[in-house]
Each structure stands twice: as structure tokens, then as C-alpha cells.
Amino acid sequence: MPTRDASRTRSRARRGDGARLREEILEAATELLLETGDEAAVSVRAVATRVGVTPPSIYLHFADKNELLFECCSTLLGRLRRDILQSATALEDPAERLRVAAHAFVRFGIDNPEPYRIILMSPHHDLPAGFDPQAYEGLLAFNALRGLVADAMDERAGDPDDPSSPASMHAMGLLMAVHGVTSMMVAKAVEPIDFPWPDVDRLVDHVMDVHLAAIRRTATPPR
């Protein structure tokens, strides 16, 4: 990814350009997080320098660094969700859709360990003012996963909005299993012990084989 000229200055914003500046700030912060792999590198001053504005301009759009990081992570989750859905919907077999989704999820965590830690392995940052849980990318991503599970179960999926429905329970179990694999692979980067790690793709396939077998058992009507 090309590095922006940190010394450039931004021309004075025209009326109505506030939304565009907010997107530039968010893009710069996300780039910093991905390039450095370090949450500490995403300071308000560093983001302002990259965008070419003064630090007070950042605070016109984000209350503090926590809110900026929250929005960065939400943006990354949105990209992951859209990429997974795009890849999955190209397949006819519902089970293969879930398998593709699982591999994409794990690969995202391995390729982006610091954002993954912030999103799913760290205490939640303070929620920004006006936070809408129904629009949160984490919930949208889980709902997308639950939809893929429901597709694999047909009429035995139950009410997808019911947290205790078969589809919801299988989706939550699958999320916990795949997150477990991903978090272990992310932690592996700083693990000093020579642990006998298996090939990650084979491990994900094994996890999916176990969960898909359980989903098939639930989806099959009793004789």
C-alpha cells in the first residue's frame, strides 16, 4: 500500500465537505493500523499529519482516539463481511459457503493480527455517542453467518431472530470455534514455545467438518 506524503497540507474544506474529510480521516487511521500493526501508532496527531489537517480538525468528527479506533474496526469488519458474502454467494452448496466463510475469517485474523485483537480479543472501547447496535458491523456479520447456517438447515433452522433457535445456536458455536482457531493463530505470533501447530487450513477444515456434521444431524428430520 503506498504511503502518503506526511508533510502535505490539505486545502481548506468547502462547505459540505465535512463528510468527505471524515472519510479521509477514517481511511488514514485504518491505513496506519494496518501498516504498523500497532494500536499505539494510531494517534490523533499521526492521523492528522497523514490527512494534512491539524489535530483539532480530527476532534470535529471523532470525540477521541477510542471512537476513531472503534470506527476503524467497524470499517474492517464491514469489509470482511462483504468479502465473505461475495465469496459465499457464488457457491451453490450451503455447506461450502460456510467453509469458505470460516477460512476467510481465520485468514483475516492472521493477516491483520492487531485489528483482530482490538475487535475480538480486547476489552470493548467506549461506545461512541449515538451508537446504533443494529447497525454495528459485528452484529451484521453474525447475522450474515446465522443466515448462512439457516440456509444449510432449510426448514429446521427455526426462527433466525430467536437466540435459542437451532440456526442461532449452531452459528454461535461455529463463531466461537473459528474465533478460537483465529485467536490461537494470532497469539502464536508471540508464542515463545515450539508448539506443534498444525497447518491452519487443515485445522479449519477439521473444525468445519465437525460443525457441518452437527448441522446436518440437526437439519435431518428424525425417522
Question: What pLDDT shows up at residue 155?
Answer: 77
Per-residue pLDDT of the chain (223 residues; tens, 9 = 90+): 444 444 444 444 443 477 899 999 999 999 999 899 888 899 999 999 999 999 999 999 998 888 898 888 888 889 889 988 888 888 999 999 999 999 999 999 999 888 888 888 877 656 777 778 788 888 899 999 999 999 999 878 888 789 999 999 999 999 999 999 999 998 876 666 777 888 999 999 999 999 999 999 987 766 5
Same-fold call for 1-62 versus 73-219: no
Helix or strand or coil: residue 199? Answer: coil
- What is the residue whose three cell numbers read 426462527? 159
Give this prediction's pTM: 0.82
- What is the residue whose three cell numbers read 443494529? 134
Considering the domain 73-219 in this protein, what is its CATH number? 1.10.357
Q: What are the two backbone dihedrals, phi and then psi, of residue 52, each rounded to the nearest 5 degrees? A: 95, 30
Distance between CA atoms of residues 116 and 108, nearest Å: 8
Question: What pLDDT shows up at residue 9?
Answer: 47
CATH topology of domain 1-62: Arc Repressor Mutant, subunit A (1.10.10)
Distance (Å) of CA 6 to CA 48, 49, 114, 131: 9, 6, 23, 31
Distance between CA atoms of residues 101 and 146, nearest Å: 12
Distance between CA atoms of residues 47 and 185, nearest Å: 29
Question: What pLDDT shows up at residue 222?
Answer: 62
Residue 207's region, left for phi above 0, alpha for psi from -120 to 50, else beta, is alpha
Is residue 35 within 8 A of residue 113, CB to CB? The reply is: no
Is residue 203 within 8 A of residue 107, CB to CB? The reply is: no
Helix or strand or coil: residue 32? Answer: helix
In the chain, where are the structural domains located? 1-62, 73-219
**Cα distance from N-terminal residue to C-terminal residue, the chain:** 57
Is residue 85 within 8 A of residue 148, CB to CB? The reply is: no
H helix count then E strand count, the chain: 9, 0
**Other CB atoms closer than 10 Å to residue 158's CB: what's the count?**
17
Question: What pLDDT shows up at residue 16?
Answer: 45
